[in-house]
Structure formats: structure tokens, C-alpha cells
Amino acid sequence: MNLIGKSLLDIKNLISSKKISSSEVYDYFLKRIKKYNPKLNAFLSFKNKPDITKSIDNALLGIPLGVKDNFCTLSSQKEKTTAASLVLDNHYSYYESTVTRRLKDNGGIVIGKTNMDAWAHGSSTETSDYGSTKNPWDMKRVPGGSSGGSAAAVSSYIVPATIGSDTGGSIRNPSSWCGVIGLKPSYGRVSRYGVIAMGSSFDCPGTLTMSVEDSAYLLKIIAGKDKYDATTSYEKVPDYYSNLNSKKKYVIGISDEYFKDVDNEVKEKIINALKIFEKQGHKIKKIKLISPKLAVSIYTILQRAEVSSNLARYDGVRYGNNRTYFGDEAKRRIMFGSYTLSYGYYDAYYKKAQKARTLIIEDFKKAFSEVDLIISPTTPTTALKLGEFKKYPFFGEIMDILNEPASVAGIPAINIPVGLDSKGLPIGLQIIGKSYDEQSILNLAYMFEKETDFFGVIKKGIKKYE
């Protein structure tokens, strides 16, 4: 059976109605990975046989998924967890992350680990020690990052859905540049246990999918309190999928600050989308938000400080290789982080950034007393060419300028494709919501999908890989 373009839930229905078996589904995607991955380099590793799992009477029925290689996974077939860094080139995890444990407990199968910026440091996947992933829309361009492999894999339909992580835009950015749906849940919504830590107070495991329903469906499976992660919320997990509501009307906030320095073509498509929302009966309201440039500074200081700390354990003694295997970007971030924490500088940088963080949180709280959701472009440009990042000083954070504020505040946000630019590259729109209000974000995204089918962007992307 040709599954091309079928969403995860479509496939699930086919399996449960016995039109196809889960092993046939696995073989189907395995074939596609073998065919397209050599060029795309979306997967760092994949398995020729599925790991044995219960594939009946559960939520995922043996459907294969891609998982970003910063999630610790166990496999009877020996599967590495490298974070795309040579430091962990020989690292086989001794334990399973909570997210992948939950997926597996629900019948999901990890078909392979996807490529990423090494240690999640970046917005292009070019800092991977295993070569960059290519953007499926244009092989001379980057997919975005750091979950570039996860985004490219879904965009080219070599796997129906993937798991990524978003610290300062790492799911939203590549989702925007690859034209897929990327969800960053609220901080604390999904367990970080078993996710190689980058910015401990920012890291959010999330989903990359081809439909909003898939995103809602997967979120329900992976979200919720975990006793092994003290920073997970006790907030109940709604049935996001069953609760998808296409009737609710929302007040949507727009801030001029988030449209500064944005490509005109991108702006155009966002404004176009806003018109569609208005037509649907939602209200658009102008609001004032603190400039994202300031959030970038806050994020850069705090994230790099946490990075310098989280990477201190990699000394090659108990696992992996020693610190001489660190790449350029990792070294840069570690040292910058050490600087802002060091004696004499802590107050001026780290502490100052923590206080400024409070201001951003309050700023969003204030905005959400006036509006239900906030919309902005996801990225200021569409996908850059390979190597182009060298002209930007601290590339990662600049490209994620519109994503970092939500990361700083710990609130949820999603990317949905809303058109293509004149180069034929996907344009992404970001919907930001209140803490633990993923439902509203998903609802609005769902309404857009039903109305426009994302202007065929996702279908167009997959068509290139038919």
C-alpha cells in the first residue's frame, strides 16, 4: 500500500482496521529512509528491524517515529545517543528517556535517531559533527535547527512524525524552514528526564508532525508529571486530540516589535493568515510587548550559563570521549557561560538576566490578560543557504529572535506553514499561548488547517519525495 502523505492518525486507522500491518508500515518507511536519507542526512542512525513492542490495543499500534538524537534511547539492536557530537560518538545509553518510554509503552517504535546541531547548539543543524541535514525543499539550504533532522524527516515523509526539543526555537525554527507543524509545549509540560540537557530552565521536548491532530495526539501521550523530573508540572493533561475545537473564537494579539527586521514576503503571508483568522471570526488586537532583541540577550546569557554547567560532566571517564572532542560552537558557548557566571561578573550578567527574565514573564502575563493568543512570524527569513550563517555573529540566537521570548517565559508556541516565498521555500507562522494552554494553540492551528490545508505546503513538500 502506498502510504504517501498519510498522517500518523491516518496510518493508525489503517492498522486498526487491518488494512495494513504495523510491520508493513515499518518496512514502508524504512525503504523511504534508505532511499532518501543518504542525500538528506536527516537520520544519524536507523534500524532495519523494529524493536519488539506490543502493537495492539494501544495508542500507536507499532507506528514508527523518528527521535532527535539528544533523547536517550535503549534498543536491543544497539542504538547510540550522540547529541550529534563526537564526544558521544561511542555512547550507548544505559537507560531510556521518559518521553521515549511513554511512546514505547503506547506502542510507538523508534525507527531511528535524527540529526541535530551538536548539543542542540544552533539554528541550522550545520554544527552537527556528522554533517548537516539538507533542507528537503532545496538541498543547497539548511533545514534550520537544532531539530533539523526531525523536521526534514517529516517534511520529506520518510517518517510520519518525529520528536524534537525546543530550548530557544529548536523545534519551531526548523519546522518553519521545512514547512511542518512544530510544537513547543509549556516548560514543565513534558519530562526532560533522559534528554541531554542544554538549557535546563528552557528545554522542552515537543513534536514535529504533518497535521495538527497528530501533534495533539502525540502531546497527550508524552505530557504529564514525571517523578524523575522535579520540574514537571502537576497540571492535568487534557485529551488535546479529543478536545480539538474548531468553533471557539479567540482574541489574537499582534505586536509590531515582532515584525521588525522580517522579510517582506514573510510579513505578507503572516498578514494574509491574519485576514483568514479575522474572517473566521477571531479578533485581531494590537498589543505592546518588550522587544524580542532583549529576550535574545536574556536567553543568550542564561542558556549559555546553563550550557557551561550541563556540559561539565562530559570528561570521557564514565562514557564518551574527552573534552578535546568538543566542536567549535560548544566550546564557544561553554566559555561564554563560564564568563557570565564567573567571579565578579555574576551580578552584572547572570543575575541581571534572571531579573530581566521576570520582566518578560510579567510582560506576557499582562498581554494575556488582553488576548488569548499571540501571533507572529516564526522566523524573520526563510531557509538560509548552507554556510550562510557565517555572516551572522551569534547566529543561533539571532535566527531565533522571534522564538526566544516564549522560551524565556516558558510558555507554549507552535509553528504552522502558511505559504511559500518566491523561492518556493516554506514560510512559518507562530502562535504563542498562555502557560499550559496548548489546547487553544492547537485549536487555532486546527482551524487554519481545516480552512486552508496550509495552502498545500505540506503536500507540496511531500510531493518532491513521491
Partner 1 sequence: MKKIKNNNKILSKEEIIHLANLSNIVLSKEEITKYQSQLTDTLEYIENINKLETKGVDPTSNVLDLQNVFFEDGDENKRSLKNVLKGYFTVKRVL
Partner 2 sequence: MNNFEPVIGLEIHIELSTKSKMFCQCSSDYFGKEPNSHVCPVCLGLPGALPVPNKKAIEYLIKIARALNCKINKTSKFDRKHYFYPDLPKGYQISQYDEPISVNGKVYIGKDKQIRITRVHMEEDTGKLIHTGNKTLIDFNRSGVPLVEIVTEPDFSNSDDVKIFLEDLQTTIRYLNVSDADMEKGSMRLEPNISIKKKNGKMADYKVEIKNINSFKFVKKAIDYEIKRQIELLKKGITPKQETRGFDEKLQKTYTQRIKEQAHDYRYFPEPDIPPMVFSKDYLNSIFSDIPELPNKRIERYIKDFKIKYTDAYILTRNKIMSDYFERALEKVIKSLTNDKKTQNIEQSIANFIINKKIPISLSLEEFTNRAIKLLSPKETDINLLNNVIKDVIKNNEKVVFDYKKGKQNAIMFLVGQVMKNIKGKAEAKVVLSELKKELG
Q: Are 299 and 90 in contact (CB under 8 A)?
A: no
Closest approach, Cβ 332 to partner 1, in A, equals 6
E-state strands within 157-311: 161-166, 181-184, 204-209, 251-255, 283-287
Binding mask 294-313 for partner 1 (x = CB under 8 A): x-xxx-xx------x---x-
- The torsion angle over the Cα atoms of residues 88, 91, 95 and 99, rounded to 10 degrees, is 50
322 binds partner 2 (CB under 8 A): no
Q: Which stretch binds partner 2 (CB under 8 A): 10-18, 91-99, 275-283, 378-386?
A: 91-99
> Which of 6, 12, 68, 184 is flagged as catalytic?
68
183 DSSP assignment: E
State the Cα–Cα distance between residues 192 and 176, nearest whole angstrom: 24
Nearer to partner 2 by Cβ, of 160 and 410: the residue is 410
> Which of 45, 93, 123, 146 is flagged as catalytic?
146
- The torsion angle over the Cα atoms of residues 388, 394, 395 and 397, rounded to 10 degrees, is -170
* Best CA proximity match to 101, nearest among 135, 127, 75, 81: 75
Q: Are 327 and 118 in contact (CB under 8 A)?
A: yes
**C-alpha separations of 183 from 63, 85, 161, 192, 413 in Å:** 20, 25, 12, 15, 6
State the Cα–Cα distance between residues 67 and 72, nearest whole angstrom: 10
State the Cα–Cα distance between residues 95 and 434, nearest whole angstrom: 33
120 binds partner 2 (CB under 8 A): no
234 DSSP assignment: -
346 binds partner 2 (CB under 8 A): yes
335 binds partner 2 (CB under 8 A): no
Nearer to partner 2 by Cβ, of 350 and 395: the residue is 350
List binders of partner 1 among 340-359 (CB under 8 A). Answer: 342, 349, 351-359
Residue from the set 14, 109, 181, 197 that interacts with partner 2 by CB under 8 A = 197
Q: Which three cell numbers stand for residue 161?
A: 512524525
State the Cα–Cα distance between residues 148 and 171, nearest whole angstrom: 8
267 binds partner 1 (CB under 8 A): no
Nearer to partner 1 by Cβ, of 278 and 328: the residue is 328
Residue from the set 23, 49, 94, 139 that interacts with partner 1 by CB under 8 A = 94
Burial category of 351 from C-beta neighbours within 10 Å (exposed 0-12, middle 13-18, buried 19 and up): middle
* Best CA proximity match to 81, nearest among 45, 122, 109: 45
- Work out what residue 305 binds among partner 1, partner 2, none; the CB cut-off runs from 5 to 8 Å by kind: partner 2
Nearer to partner 2 by Cβ, of 71 and 177: the residue is 71
- 146: annotated active-site residue: yes
120 DSSP assignment: G
State the Cα–Cα distance between residues 122 and 262, nearest whole angstrom: 20
Q: Which stretch binds partner 2 (CB under 8 A): 215-223, 305-313, 363-371, 418-426?
A: 305-313
- Amino acid, res. 424: G
368 binds partner 1 (CB under 8 A): no
Nearer to partner 2 by Cβ, of 62 and 337: the residue is 337
**C-alpha separations of 19 from 16, 24, 146, 160, 284 in Å:** 8, 10, 36, 17, 45
Closest approach, Cβ 323 to partner 2, in A, equals 10
- 68: annotated active-site residue: yes
State the Cα–Cα distance between residues 129 and 366, nearest whole angstrom: 42
Residue from the set 44, 195, 360, 441 that interacts with partner 2 by CB under 8 A = 195
* 93: enclosing H helix or E strand: none
List binders of partner 1 among 123-182 (CB under 8 A). Answer: none
353 binds partner 2 (CB under 8 A): no
312 binds partner 2 (CB under 8 A): yes
Q: Which stretch binds partner 2 (CB under 8 A): 123-131, 197-205, 279-287, 325-333?
A: 197-205
- Work out what residue 52 binds among partner 1, partner 2, none; the CB cut-off runs from 5 to 8 Å by kind: none
The three-state secondary structure class of 269 is helix
- Work out what residue 251 binds among partner 2, partner 1, none; the CB cut-off runs from 5 to 8 Å by kind: none
Closest approach, Cβ 116 to partner 1, in A, equals 22
306 binds partner 2 (CB under 8 A): yes
- Work out what residue 213 binds among partner 1, partner 2, none; the CB cut-off runs from 5 to 8 Å by kind: none
**Positions in the binding site for partner 1 (CB under 8 A):** 94-95, 187-188, 201, 227-228, 230-231, 233-234, 290, 293-294, 296-298, 300-301, 308, 312, 315, 317-318, 323-324, 326, 331-332, 334-336, 338-339, 342, 349, 351-359, 361, 393-394, 409-410
**Positions in the binding site for partner 2 (CB under 8 A):** 70-72, 81, 83, 88, 91, 93-95, 97, 192-197, 200-201, 227-231, 305-306, 308-309, 311-315, 317-320, 338, 341-343, 346, 350
User: Which residues are marked as active site?
Assistant: 68, 146, 170
